[in-house]
Amino acid sequence: MQFTLLPEWAEQDAIMLTWPHLDTDWSDILDKVEPVYVALCQQISQVEDVVIVAHNESLKAHILNLLKNHEVDLTKVHFVVTPCNDTWARDHGPITTQNAEGKLSIKDFTFTGWGNKFAAELDNKINKVLVNELAAPENDYDVVDMVLEGGGIEINEAGTLLTTTECLLNDNRNPELSKDDVEAILKDKLGAKDFLWVDHGYLAGDDTDSHIDTLVRFAPGNTLVYVGCDNENDEHYSALVKMAEQLRSFRTPSGEAYKLIDLPWPKAIFDDEGYRLPATYANYLIMNKTVLVPVYNDEKDALALKQIQIAYPEHTVIGVDCVPIIHQFGSLHCITMQLPKGFLKRI
């Protein structure tokens, strides 16, 4: 029976985080980034469980102490202790599908550090440990011989898959696969029925080759939420204008235009070495009746929250300061992965 990737707003058991540690690129700013992770645990544990991947037992003890000191309900927190290279759970985490009978199939695609840019051999082993230790035994576990990151794809309730040509057709991912090959695999493994390929748009400082979750997101009811740029002097202006034009041309399987909701463009943020950081409001996380939105101490933060509330009217929308996160060239959605209802075994 066909398994289909669940939209992010499907009911969830937990959110997965892979905790930063001294052997990651976060080492110099752990004192700034760990409070963001603690804040995420506080918010997530209000509505569902938290799964934390910890590099070793010492880090697990440290995390437990942090969470206890910040009054996080530890009965909602589950640990997987296994070595990890980095913290981008969206991209090394499991991609979970479901069939018509409600059974889950946990897909374990290959993660290569976004086309072998960074070490990923430890991260690529996390899912097997996660499934062995925490997944309900009735769930299927499927190792897929294809490079794919969770941040590179979106799907809606109709089974339409949204992605970018820059990422999925990049020679650094699956050079032996044509576009037709990629679509065939994603139809088979993720149950995709239709495809929307975004050909424009990027973020300076982004190592992912234009992951869709930094640019355009699905919302219920044939809605696309996307980043716009109204500053003609910004380096992103031309590409994002072309992206918006393409989004307006997209049609649903029944031939209707998508409802479009644009997100504002935050002011440019740079690191100490002068590199522009990929601040985007599109990198939000949808949970059970809650949406966590990255904010950047920017005057556009309030408008971003308002627009996302329009897209998800039945959810509570909450901003989370993610300035420390973008200093490693990602944001809130990039460091999280949802685990749908039925994923976790009941202890």
Give the DSSP H/E element, type plus range, for residue 42.
Answer: helix 30-44
Ranges assigned E (strand) in the chain: 4-5, 12-18, 49-54, 77-81, 95-98, 104-110, 140-147, 154-155, 160-164, 194-198, 216-219, 223-227, 259-263, 285-287, 290-295, 316-321, 337-340
What's the rounded Cα separation, in Å, for the pair 9 and 47? Answer: 13
What's the CATH class of domain 4-340?
alpha beta
H or E stretch covering 180: helix 179-190
pTM: 0.97
Phi, psi of 140 (to 5 degrees): -80, 145
Q: Give me the helix-helix angle, 57-69 and 30-44, nearest 10°.
A: 70
The per-residue pLDDT string of the chain (347 residues; one tens digit each, 9 = 90 and over) reads: 799 999 999 999 999 999 999 999 999 999 999 999 999 999 999 999 999 999 999 999 999 999 999 999 999 999 999 999 999 999 999 999 999 999 999 999 999 999 999 999 999 999 999 999 999 999 999 999 999 999 999 999 999 999 999 999 999 999 999 999 999 999 999 999 999 999 999 999 999 999 999 999 999 999 999 999 999 999 999 999 999 999 999 999 999 999 999 999 999 999 989 999 999 999 999 999 999 999 999 999 999 999 999 999 999 999 999 999 999 999 999 999 999 999 999 85
